[in-house]
Amino acid sequence: MTGKPPRPARLVACPGCGKPTPFAPDNPWRPFCSERCRSLDLGAWASESYRIPLRESDPEAPSAESGDEPPRGPNTPEG
């Protein structure tokens, strides 16, 4: 017997895809399983954090259903 047996890395569910991922210093993307999941999650985070306050802080925002196009004259001079 020499030394102690290697301890298995703790497995955590990847926040991106839910795949069991080793939460160890060896995994640079922890707690994610890969760089892709990490960037994906970060992207989603940014999008959500931007959307949530926007919709919450502007309850009386003018409906953008109509009037989205810029004002145009009755006729456009051509030629």
CA 78 to CA 75: how far, in whole Å?
9
| Residue span binding Zn ion (CB under 5 A) among the ranges 1-9, 11-19, 41-49, 68-76 | 11-19
The answer to whether the CB of 58 falls within 8 A of the CB of 42 is no
Q: Which is nearer to Zn ion, 9 or 17 (CB)?
A: 17
* Gyration radius of the chain's alpha carbons: 25
CA 58 to CA 67: how far, in whole Å?
18
| Residue span binding Zn ion (CB under 5 A) among the ranges 3-11, 13-21, 38-46, 47-55 | 13-21
33 binds Zn ion (CB under 5 A): yes
16 binds Zn ion (CB under 5 A): yes
What residue type is assigned to position 17 of the chain? Answer: C
Q: Which is nearer to Zn ion, 36 or 51 (CB)?
A: 36
